[in-house]
Structures are given as structure tokens and as C-alpha cells.
């Protein structure tokens, strides 16, 4: 667990009666949460402001079976969504404002993790020049929130440059307002989507100008050069943000490719965030528009791409590393009454269900705003299923949809202290393959009811910690990079380079970022196969480290324990600086052979006892995950890289994690 998550976890839980003035009761009572319950949840927003009925102009929650679990109160108007990893806290950005209202807001709904039928409105949160219809993200720590903002100098209700991505903390929300901004990065337009990496150290931000920024969240700085994609192809807009309802983006499970829709161009823009390049993929003849996009992160139908094309939802075989896209199956949806110049939805949204066995797509069918489709036969059969009717009135304005797909289940994050809205009232109740199209823009050079009496509820109050703060720029470390040099590391990757070359490049970038501030930090390089070799002892010399990485030679067998033993020896040797924290980063693409795996676990346990942080990276599918989890100092320090293309991002996450080891900070939490 990273230090920010540890601090967020250091909360005091008090049982208080009547914490919230308004509570919307459950439409059903349910058992304790299971993974299946979480995978079954579908959260939607609806934009029908003319009706006072529950679910209209509101956040609502359904089961994928079509059962309504919660229809929220009228908000005017909720738009794009983010949530905690277990969906116990849902946050909606506003899609537009009521007439005369000039205060942009976020709207929060809290779910009961033990009863998925119980949801409680938490009210509005304002205090920043939030951009309507823009994307936002709650990071994996459950506390850090990234939002899209406009110039503070712009007149009320108007969007003007400069635009920024700003960082806030939910723990600092009070009296219905966000706390102080904890950092900001200026970007070239309103934000479409934000995709945090698994550890939350980095975030990929997609703007309306079709630029992908990779943001170092700690300092809110650019971690790499922006990637420029072909622009979203829409009607001419009266100003920035007017067509955000038609712009969508997704990210692949390996975290390497960001996919954007191009609307009237009926094609996709793809950004490779590792190689920092861009290209397009055409969806083929007969596709009127490219709307919502979603890439499946679950095991079933893993990696399949769903695209809302205005009058249908299509499922595609999607391999951007090739690059290749091929339509597998599609199903019609009722055409949405989209008005390109309107300042609201409906947005042609789509999302995979949490278990990956279906997709949820925006539609316009009677009272239903969304429909669930079963995806069978690997995507070749897209079968219409239940409809989801949030607002009972016949005019459909579906906005966003969110599920547990692309989410894990960490502990419930602390509740923010918010003030409920004064107007809240209780709620009741087989196809040819499509060839890629070259990008027209050049690649960027890398540079129920209300309860009659109050019931106890949990409130989470932050504790003021009086302990030494971690200052990454002041902490020096000695790091041993332990790299698999077995023959299998010579295999080619989809990107056209060998695994070992991909590992070398990721390690080089790791070194550059770790040593950027100079000081006494050092790195060593250890290669292992049948035995282990320290190819470069501890040093702060970047040139020497680059030469050491190039000197790694491949040979037979995989003795992981040998590599850890050699790293421990180097970190106990004369070059190790007593004031420096000690770290080992192990990378392997296989299983221990030529040694008992228990020997590697024992060596790692010895390192743990010596106060050394140990990170473990498994490359590919043929790794012993159970062993690597034991090798890592904490479960969160084990990383799985499906392919070599993800290594750079993993090493960058580790660079962010290293400076504040829990043994030294946050009381070891």
C-alpha cells in the first residue's frame, strides 16, 4: 500500500446517529456483498430535467439483470462518473446547470458495501470552476480526485482557457466545498477522460483537443511528451466543451493504448503511451459515427472492444499492437435523439459489465435509457437483454454509464464531509477484418423510502498525524535492479523488440527518473540465469548503468533466488551507504528452474528482515504468481505485466513508490 493510501486509511470510525439529513432507502434488501454483486452493478446518469420523478435528472443504480436498486433524486444534471474501486462511493460531474445557477458542482452518492440495495445521497460539492460534461477520476487510494477546470477569471457559466487538471483530496471536503487544490497541470482543453495507472502514481488525461497527457500525480507535472491524436470530428462548436457529450475514450488492460472515438469520422484514434505515437483505425463501411468506446478488462471476452455507433453497438477483436481491428458481432439499438449543438446529452455511452460477459449501451426505448446485451461466442453474438429505465418519462436522455469493469476491490475509502443539497427529497421506490488507416497527423517526437427515525451511520474523521513527513526529494536510496537473463528473455514481443531489450529500456528510464535530482542515490544491476552476476555495482553514474544494462548476456535456466542473494550481498557491501534506504526490484518472465522456488522466497524473506523493500514484476503468463507475491514486501508491490510493453509504466510506478517506504514513514502502516 502506498503512503497516501496508508494516510487515508488512518481514520477513526465513529457510530453517529443521523449524520445525513436525507437518506434514500433501498428498493430491496440484500445479503452481504460478494464479488458477483459488485460485478453485477450498473451506475447510470440521466438528463431529463422536466420531470420531478425519482431517477430523472439523477444518478441511478441497477443490477445487470435490469432490477432497479436505486433511483436518485433530481440533481440538474449529473454527467460523467467516477467511483471508488468497490463502487461504494460514486461521484458525478455536472452535465449542465439549472437556469440561473452559476455554481458548477460534483454530486456524491454513497453505497452500503454490505447491502447493494442501499444508497444514500451525499449532496453537492462545489468550490472550483469545474467543466460541465468533463471527465474526472477518483484514484485508487480512494482520496485523490482529478477534475477538469476552466479559468478562474472567466465569467460565471462560461469556459475559457487556461484549462487545467486539478488535484483535490476528498478528506479535505467540508461544508459542501472542495478543499484547496493540491496541484494542477495546464492542458490544451476540457478533459474527456482520465485513466489512472494501477498504483495511481500516473494518470493519462485525454482532452477535447485530442491530446493525451501522461501526468505524474504527485507533482502534477508531465511525465512524458504529449501524444497528439487526430481531432474529434464534430459539428462546429460555439466554444470549448460544447461537444464533450460526443467525445469518448478508453484504455486497454495492459495500460499501453488509449483509444478515442472520432464521431463523424467513424474511426478510432489510438495513442501508444509507451512509444508516444498515434495512429487511427477505421471501423469500416456502414458505420455512421464512432461514439462511446470501452475495452473489456475482465477475464471473459478479455480485450474485446465495444463501440456505440449511434444505431448499434459493435464488438470488435482489437489488437492495437499489431495494429488490427475486426468486427465480430453487432446488435441494433434505438437511435438516440442526439442534438450536436446541445449542451447536454444524450451521450452515446457504452460500458462492459463488471464480469465482461455483456455490454451496457445507451438507447431510446420507451422509458428505458440503457440496454444490457449479452456477449457470447467470443463476441460473435451480441444478444439484446434487459433494459434499464432510470426515468419513467418517455423522453430519453441517457448520459454516462459506469460498472466495476477495470476496477479492483480495496478497502472502502473514507467518507468526505459534505452538505446535502437543500432541495433533496426522499426517493421511493462474422465480418471481414478492417485494415488500419494511417494517421493524418504526425507523431509527436517523444520528449424506499426515507427512514422515519435516524439510524446509526459510519462517519470517517481524519486523524492529525504528528510524525515525520516523507519528502521524496530528500530521501536517498540504494536500488538493486535484478533482471532475468534466461534464454526466454530473447523472445520477440508484439512491438518488434526482444523481452530483454524492452526490460533494458524500462530500466534505463527508471534510472533516469530515479537519479534526476542527483544526490547520493545509487543503482546496481544484477542479471540472473543459472547463476547471478552483478554486472554493475552500486553507482550514481548513469553512463555506467547504461553500459551495465547492455552487458546483460542471456543463458539457460532461471535462478531467481540467486539474483536476490546477489542483490542482498551488494546492498550489504562496502558501496552501500548507511543513510540510504535499500530496495530490490526483481523482474522475471518465468518460473524458478535449477532451484527450489522456496529458496527464492527464503532469500526475499531475508531481505525483508534486513529492512529492504522488495518489488516483484512478472512478465507474461508463464510466471509463478504465488511465489512472486511472497517475494514482494507487500502484495501491492507485486506487478503483473501481460506483455513487455507495460514494463515502462510499471517501473515508473515503482519510482514513485520507492521514496516513502512504510518502514520509515506513516508509522509502518
Residue 651: φ, ψ to 5°: -65, -35
Pick the closest to residue 444 from 281, 224, 649 (CA basis).
224
Write the pLDDT tens digit of every residue in 421-475.
333 222 323 333 333 434 333 333 333 333 333 333 333 333 333 334 444 444 7
Per-residue pLDDT band for 393 (boundaries 50, 70, 90) equals confident
What pLDDT is recorded for position 24?
A: 33
Give the pLDDT confidence of 580-636 residue by residue, as tens digits. Answer: 999 999 999 988 887 889 999 999 999 999 999 999 999 887 889 899 999 999 888
HSE, CB side, 13 Å, CA atoms: give it for residue 332: 4
Residue 234 in this model has a pLDDT that exceeds 80? no
- The predicted pLDDT at position 136 comes to 96
Of 247, 198, 267, nearest to 79 (Cα)? Answer: 247
Percent of the chain with pLDDT over 90: 54
pLDDT band at 517 (very low <50, low <70, confident <90, very high): low
Integer Cα distance of 385 and 664 in angstroms: 53
The pLDDT assigned to 420 comes to: 36
> Nearest CA to 128 among 91, 87, 176, 80?
176
Give the mean pLDDT of 492-506: 86
Residue 50 is predicted with a pLDDT of 67
Q: Where are the beta strands (DSSP E) in 366-414?
A: 368-376, 381-388, 398-403
C-alpha cell at 489: 528473455
Let me know: does 72 contact 92? Beta carbons within 8 Å. Answer: no
Query: Model confidence at 112, in pLDDT bands (50, 70, 90)?
Result: confident
The closest of 413, 458, 420 to 144, measured between CA atoms, is 413
Q: What is the pLDDT of residues 375-384, one digit of tens each?
A: 999 999 999 9
3-state SS track over 253-291: CCCCEEEEECECCCEEEEEECCCCEEEEEECCCCCCCEC
Three cell numbers at 159?
469556459
Please state, for a pLDDT cut of 70, what percent of the chain lies above it: 78
**CATH architecture classification, 3-28+41-234+246-408:** 7 Propeller (2.130)
Which of the four pLDDT bands, split at 50, 70 and 90, describes residue 165?
A: very high
Q: According to DSSP H, which parts of 610-646 are helical?
A: 625-631
- Region 149-162: mean pLDDT is 81
The answer, yes or no, to whether residue 577 has pLDDT greater than 50, is: yes
Residue pLDDT, tens place only, 297-332:
998 999 999 999 988 999 999 999 999 999 999 999
- Are the C-beta atoms of residues 145 and 130 closer than 8 Å to each other? no
Q: Is the pLDDT of residue 22 over 70?
A: no
Position 659 scores a pLDDT of 61
Kindly state the DSSP code that residue 442 receives in the 8-state scheme. Answer: P
Determine contact, residues 123/176, Cβ cutoff 8 Å.
yes
User: Which pLDDT score, from 0 to 100, does residue 64 have?
Assistant: 94
pLDDT tens-digit map of 410-426:
322 333 333 333 332 22
pTM: 0.61
Percentage helix, strand, coil for the chain under 3-state DSSP, each rounded to 5: 15, 35, 50
- pLDDT at residue 238 tops 90: no
Using pLDDT thresholds of 50, 70 and 90, give the confidence band for residue 651: confident
Ordered by start, the domain boundaries in the chain are: 3-28+41-234+246-408, 472-668
Q: Which CATH code fits 472-668? A: 3.40.50.410
Is residue 128 predicted with pLDDT exceeding 60? yes
Going by pLDDT thresholds of 50, 70 and 90, the confidence category of residue 650 is confident
Amino acid at each position: 500500500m502506498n503512503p497516501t493510501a496508508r494516510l487515508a486509511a488512518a481514520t477513526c470510525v465513529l457510530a453517529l446517529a443521523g449524520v445525513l439529513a436525507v437518506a434514500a432507502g433501498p428498493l430491496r434488501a440484500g445479503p452481504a456483498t460478494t464479488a458477483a454483486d459488485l460485478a453485477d452493478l450498473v451506475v447510470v446518469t440521466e438528463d431529463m430535467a422536466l420531470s420531478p420523478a425519482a431517477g430523472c435528472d439523477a444518478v441511478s443504480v441497477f443490477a445487470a439483470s435490469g432490477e432497479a436498486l436505486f433511483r436518485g433524486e433530481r440533481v440538474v444534471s449529473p454527467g460523467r462518473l467516477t467511483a471508488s474501486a468497490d463502487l461504494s462511493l460514486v461521484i458525478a460531474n455536472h452535465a449542465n446547470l439549472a437556469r440561473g445557477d452559476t455554481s458548477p458542482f460534483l454530486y456524491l452518492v454513497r453505497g452500503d458495501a454490505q447491502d447493494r440495495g442501499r444508497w444514500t445521497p451525499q449532496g453537492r460539492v462545489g468550490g472550483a470552476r469545474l467543466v460541465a460534461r468533463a471527465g474526472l477520476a477518483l484514484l485508487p487510494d480512494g482520496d485523490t480526485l482529478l477534475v477538469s477546470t476552466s479559468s478562474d477569471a472567466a465569467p460565471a457559466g462560461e469556459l475559457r482557457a487556461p484549462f487545467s487538471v486539478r488535484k483535490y483530496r476528498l478528506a479535505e471536503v467540508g461544508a459542501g466545498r472542495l478543499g484547496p487544490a493540491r496541484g494542477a497541470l495546464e492542458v490544451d482543453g476540457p478533459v474527456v477522460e482520465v485513466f489512472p495507472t494501477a498504483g495511481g502514481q500516473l494518470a493519462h488525461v485525454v482532452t477535447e483537443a485530442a491530446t493525451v497527457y501522461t501526468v505524474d500525480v504527485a507533482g502534477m507535472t508531465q511525465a512524458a511528451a504529449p501524444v497528439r491524436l487526430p481531432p474529434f470530428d464534430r459539428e462546429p462548436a460555439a466554444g470549448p466543451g460544447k461537444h464533450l457529450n460526443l467525445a469518448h475514450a478508453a484504455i486497454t488492460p495492459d495500460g499501453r493504448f488509449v483509444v478515442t472515438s472520432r464521431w463523424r469520422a467513424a474511426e478510432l484514434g489510438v495513442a501508444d503511451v509507451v512509444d508516444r505515437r498515434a495512429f487511427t483505425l477505421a471501423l469500416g463501411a456502414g458505420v455512421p459515427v464512432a461514439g462511446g468506446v470501452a475495452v473489456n478488462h475482465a477475464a471473459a471476452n478479455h480485450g474485446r472492444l465495444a463501440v456505440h455507433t449511434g444505431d448499434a453497438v459493435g464488438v470488435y477483436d482489437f489488437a492495437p499492437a499489431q495494429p488490427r481491428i475486426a468486427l465480430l458481432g453487432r446488435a441494433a439499438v434505438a437511435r438516440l435523439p442526439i442534438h450536436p449543438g446541445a449542451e447536454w446529452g444524450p451521450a452515446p455511452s457504452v460500458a462492459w459489465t463488471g464480469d465482461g460477459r455483456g455490454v451496457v449501451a445507451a438507447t431510446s426505448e420507451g422509458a428505458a435509457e440503457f440496454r444490457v446485451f449479452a456477449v457470447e461466442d467470443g463476441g460473435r453474438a451480441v444478444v439484446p437483454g434487459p433494459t434499464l429505465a432510470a426515468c419513467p418519462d418517455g423522453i430519453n436522455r441517457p448520459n454516462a454509464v459506469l460498472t466495476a469493469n477495470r476496477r479492483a476491490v480495496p478497502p472502502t475509502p473514507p467518507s468526505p464531509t459534505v452538505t446535502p443539497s437543500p432541495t433533496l427529497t426522499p426517493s421511493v421506490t462474422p465480418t471481414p477484418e478492417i485494415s488500419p488507416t494511417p494517421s493524418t497527423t504526425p507523431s509527436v517526437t517523444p520528449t424506499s423510502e426515507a427512514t422515519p427515525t435516524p439510524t446509526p451511520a459510519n462517519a470517517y474523521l481524519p486523524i492529525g498525524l504528528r510524525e515525520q513527513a516523507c519528502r521524496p526529494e530528500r530521501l536517498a536510496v540504494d536500488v538493486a535492479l535484478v533482471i532475468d537473463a534466461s534464454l526466454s528473455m530473447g523472445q520477440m514481443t508484439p512491438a518488434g523488440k526482444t523481452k530483454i531489450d524492452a526490460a533494458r529500456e524500462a530500466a534505463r528510464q527508471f534510472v533516469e527518473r530515479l537519479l534526476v535530482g542527483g544526490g547520493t542515490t545509487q543503482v546496481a544491476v544484477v542479471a540472473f540465469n543459472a547463476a547471478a552476476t552483478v554486472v554493475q555495482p552500486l553507482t550514481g553514474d548513469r553512463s555506467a548503468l547504461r553500459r551495465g544494462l547492455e552487458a546483460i548476456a542471456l543463458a539457460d535456466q532461471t535462478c531467481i533466488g540467486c539474483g536476490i542473494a546477489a542483490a542482498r550481498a551488494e546492498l550489504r557491501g562496502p558501496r552501500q551507504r548507511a543513510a540510504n534506504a535499500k530496495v530490490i526490484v526483481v523482474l522475471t518472465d518465468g518460473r524458478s528452474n535449477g532451484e527450489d522456488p522456496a529458496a527464492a522466497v527464503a532469500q526475499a524473506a531475508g531481505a525483508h528482515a534486513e529492512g529492504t523493500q522488495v518489488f516483484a514484476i512478472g512478465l507474461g503468463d508463464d510466471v509463478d504468481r504465488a511465489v512472486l507475491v511472497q517475494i514482494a514486501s507487500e502484495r501491492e508491490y507485486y506487478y503483473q505485466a501481460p506483455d513487455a510493453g507495460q514494463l515502462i509504466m510499471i517501473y515508473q510506478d515503482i519510482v514513485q513508490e520507492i521514496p516513502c517506504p512504510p518502514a520509515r514513514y506513516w508509522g509502518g502502516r
